[in-house]
Structure 1
Amino acid sequence: MKVNGLQAELQAMKLEASNANKPASAQQVSEDFGALLGNAIKNVNGLQSQSSELATRFDQGDRSVSLSDVMIARNKSSVAFEATVQVRNKMVEAYKELMNMPV
C-alpha cells in the first residue's frame, strides 16, 4: 500500500530534519516540500489508476480479480484522495491566513 511508503518518507524526513547541522535555505525547503507533495499526488494517482484497472478487469470477467480486491482498491484510493483534499484545504487555509496578516 502506498500510504505506508508515504509514512516511511515522512519519518525519514523527520529524522533528516532532526539531524540537520546547518539550517536549510528557503529555496531548499520549498523544493523538498514540492517534491514531497508531487510524490504524494503521484501515489494517489497510482492508487486511483490501479482501482480503475481492477474494476475494469472485474467488469470484463477476469477470474483472477475478485470483488473484494476491487472494493479494497477503491477504498484505498478513496481514503488517499480524501487525505489529499484535506491537505490541500489546510494549505489554502494557511495561505489565506498568511495573506491576511498585517505587515
Structure 2
Amino acid sequence: MKIDGFQSEMQAMMFEASSTRPTATGETVGADFNKLLKKAINNVNSLSQTSSDLQMRFDRGDKDVSLSDVMIARNKSSVAFEATIQVRNKLVEAYKELMNMPV
C-alpha cells in the first residue's frame, strides 16, 4: 500500500475540480459537480471494499498480506469516509441556509 498514491489521487481530483470552467448554463456546472461527486463516492466505496478484502485475506492467513497493509488500507478508508461525511454535512448546511433565505 502506498500513501503517496492516495495523496496523488487527492491532488489530481483537486486539479480536476479547479480546472473545470463553468459555462453560461447552470446545467453543465451541475452535471460536472454530479460527476465529481459520484467519482468521489465511488472512490470511497472502492477504498472500503479494498480494506475489507485485505482484512479478510489477512484473517484467512494469506502470506501476501501483512498487518501493516491491512491497517493502512483501513485508515485510508476511514479518512476518506470521514471526509465524505464532512462534505455531506457542509452540503446539508448550505441547503438549509438557502432554504431559510427570504425570497
Task: Flag whether TM exceeds 0.5 (same fold).
Answer: yes
Query: What is the total number of aligned residue pairs between the two structures?
Result: 99
Q: Paired residue for 1:82?
A: 82
Structure 1's consecutive aligned runs of 4 or more residues displaced over 6 angstroms after TM superposition are: none
TM-score normalized by the length of structure 2:
0.88
Give the Cα–Cα distance (whole angstroms) in 2 for the partners of residues 49 and 3 of structure 1. Answer: 19
Give the Cα–Cα distance (whole angstroms) in 2 for the partners of residues 27 and 78 of structure 1. Answer: 33
Shift of 1:29: 0.6
TM-score normalized by the length of structure 1:
0.88
| 1:44–1:80 Cα contact (<8 Å) kept | yes
Q: Paired residue for 2:12?
A: 8
Q: How does 1:1-103 map to 2 (within 5 A)?
A: 1-2=5-6, 4-17=8-21, 23-103=23-103
SS of 2:61's equivalent in the other structure is coil
The aligned amino acid for 2:70 is: V
The aligned amino acid for 2:55 is: A
Provide the aligned C-alpha RMSD in A. 1.5
Structure 1 unaligned regions, length at least 5? none
Structure 2 unaligned regions, length at least 5? none
Give the Cα–Cα distance (whole angstroms) in 1 for the partners of residues 24 and 76 of structure 2. Answer: 35
